[in-house]
Copies of this chain bind each other. A is one copy, B any other.
């Protein structure tokens, strides 16, 4: 019978100054030695008396740790014969443990980008408060915090089951009603509250739709260039992507049927290029769906932020054959941090979508749904939209002016009718991803168009967001961009 006195005692390091009680430290360390193989099964432990004197701790410390280890199956006492390491762990540990499996194929593809740069998410939490060129960033200072706080406060004290429980998988009834009125007002879209399902943002809706409509291997048509994270959602579900080009009329449907089962489109305002899809194209896409028996997901995520011109009707409203599902979001018209969006669905898809949605992520936080229902019903959203359109139009103008004055030799940017960013087309032949990285390394955050491509070669450009910088800060902010660009150019010339 092996005895473990020496090995055990030399391995132990009890720290009297630490927060954790000594018996916990002893427990943790003995467990670690057993699991790690340093104390093999069958090892006899020194007696309590020995340990007390060697470790200089009280008897109760030793006994407490031993009792817990015994309850956990690590130690076994034999009456009158001391305490042994149980064979529980060592007997079962395989002789040659296999390493952990790698990530799945789709998992590796989905996570390859990392959270650090060039995804929507990190950009919008990293940059500063007063200036940012990140395209997905709204004006935080313009967030209607007082109204929102008041509405949250109205519901936050409630303890009724409807507010504390999981919530209706379709979303709160009052919010579904408010959304059906809202999309009618802002998008001329005619639907009943029963066709609305509330989601925790558009991103979640894309995932639920992938699961519901696509099996792994089914091809998805996406715009090339197109919205990054929308595309990643389909890809993460094991669906190969097929890019369709975008021209001045919007996304171009494939001339021949290529077996794709779903097309994800941004007709209101192509993301990122900004063109509105022409009526002819709308007709062609609906014909595509009808001809091939395909689905269209209409990503309508920031169409409400329109500064000039009228909306064309949604694909959803144009297709009597019900091949279209519309996805909307409050991320850009209010704030992405409240995680609320919605799907407008053909009647027969509502129940399957709501079921799949609660399997994939449950309905969104009920309190926010209740506050949002009031925010819409009280007309707060319309007021906020009016203010935002004015604010963002002024910020866009200030951005274009500053770019024209300070960076005309670098890029050309034209005004956009809607959305939160302009395209800055580079005059030079630099790789836009390199430029964006160079600027980011100097604290100036933009998105490079190159990140939006699927397979198509694109001219170099940056997406430059205007919503996150006050008009009066714009000249300095663009000045900092110009300086960062110069510095990057110098440092890359030197290499």
Contact = CB atoms under 8 A, between A and B. Distances in A.
B73 A169 contact: no
Given A200-B361, A337-B163, A318 B236 contact: no
B295 A100 contact: yes
A338 to B, nearest CB: 6
Contact of A211 (B213, B236, B468): B236
Interface string A32-62: 1001100000000000000000000000000
A359 B203 contact: yes
B88 A283 contact: yes
Contacts of A338: 365, 367
A190 interface: yes
Interface stretch (A117-125, A387-395, A434-442, A483-491): A117-125
A128 B339 contact: no
Contacts of A211: 104, 106-107, 110, 236-237
A94 interface: yes
A383 B405 CA distance: 60
Q: Which residue, of A68, A107, A364, has the highest number of chain B Cβ atoms within 10 A?
A: A107
Given A72-B313, A104-B214, A283 B161 contact: no
A158 B338 CA distance: 13
Contact of A104 (B212, B232, B292, B363): B212
Nearest to A144: B159
A103 B361 contact: no
Interface residues of A, number: 140
Given A113-B355, A356-B111, A362 B203 contact: yes
A345 to B, nearest CB: 12
A97 B229 CA distance: 32
Contacts of A237: 211, 237
Interface in A406-443: none
Interface stretch (A6-14, A135-143, A265-273, A474-482): A135-143
A5 interface: no
A181 to B, nearest CB: 11
A114 interface: yes
Interface string A228-244: 01001100111000000
Interface string A280-314: 10111011001111110000000000000010110
A106 to B, nearest CB: 6
Interface string A121-153: 110110111001000111011110110110011
Contacts of A286: 92-93
Contact of A229 (B261, B292, B358): B358
A492 interface: no
Contacts of A214: 104, 107
Interface of A: 28, 31-32, 35-36, 68, 71-74, 88-89, 91-94, 97-101, 103-108, 110-115, 119-122, 124-125, 127-129, 132, 136-138, 140-143, 145-146, 148-149, 152-153, 156-170, 190, 200-201, 203-204, 207, 211-218, 229, 232-233, 236-238, 261, 278-280, 282-284, 286-287, 290-295, 310, 312-313, 318-323, 331, 335-339, 346, 351-356, 358-368, 468
Instruction: List the 4 shortest-distance A-B pairs measured between CB atoms, nearest first.
Output: A73-B279, A216-B216, A98-B293, A111-B352
Given A72-B279, A111-B353, A200-B361, 19 more contacts: A68-B310, A73-B280, A73-B282, A88-B279, A92-B286, A104-B215, A107-B214, A108-B352, A110-B356, A112-B355, A114-B355, A120-B166, A140-B164, A142-B159, A146-B157, A200-B339, A203-B359, A207-B361, A238-B238
